[in-house]
């Protein structure tokens, strides 16, 4: 496996703090799983990725412009689409 090629780096912001997260493509099933492991937020990801609770909503922000979009973290894969973006937990 080419580790460098599979490395994904992005920023994760919650409650006024921002951390740089470095992970790998196959390390988590989704962004929701990663956030649940990094941060202990009791109200986050209540349906464990079932897509019904909407508690895993985050803002995805491009690093090179001001474009933002609301997404469900359980529907976001840890892949190149996430690399270098900012994830803001609501
Ligand atoms: S974890 Fe419930 S909608 Fe994403």
32 pLDDT more than 60 = yes
Residue ranges of E strands in 2-66: 7-14, 17-24, 57-61
Q: What is the pLDDT of residue 86?
A: 96
Q: What is the pLDDT of residue 2?
A: 58
Residue spans of the domains in the chain: they are 3-89
Q: What is the pLDDT of residue 52?
A: 96
**41 CB within 6 A, ligand 1:** no
Pocket test for ligand 1, best of 45, 71, 87 (most atoms within 8 A of CB): 45
Q: Would you say 23 and 78 are in contact if contact means Cβ atoms under 8 Å apart?
A: yes
Residue ranges of E strands in 1-90: 7-14, 17-24, 57-61, 68-72, 86-89
Q: What is the pLDDT of residue 26?
A: 82
**75 CB within 6 A, ligand 1:** no
More confident of the two residues 87 and 65? 87
| CATH topology classification for 3-89 | Ubiquitin-like (UB roll) (3.10.20)
Q: Would you say 40 and 14 are in contact if contact means Cβ atoms under 8 Å apart?
A: no
Express each pLDDT in 55-69 by its tens digit: 999 999 997 788 999
Pocket test for ligand 1, best of 37, 42, 74, 76 (most atoms within 8 A of CB): 74
Point out the ligand 1 atom lying closest to the alpha carbon of residue 57. Answer: 4
């Amino acid at each position: 496996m080419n580790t460098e090629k599979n490395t994904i780096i992005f920023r994760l912001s919650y409650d006024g703090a921002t951390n740089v997260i470095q992970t790998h493509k196959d390390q988590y099933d989704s962004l929701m799983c990663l956030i649940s492991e990094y941060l202990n937020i009791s109200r986050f990801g209540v349906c464990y990725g079932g897509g019904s609770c909407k508690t895993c909503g985050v803002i995805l922000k491009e690093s090179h412009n001001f474009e933002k979009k609301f997404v469900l973290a359980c529907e976001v894969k840890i892949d190149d689409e996430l690399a270098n973006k900012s994830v803001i937990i609501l």
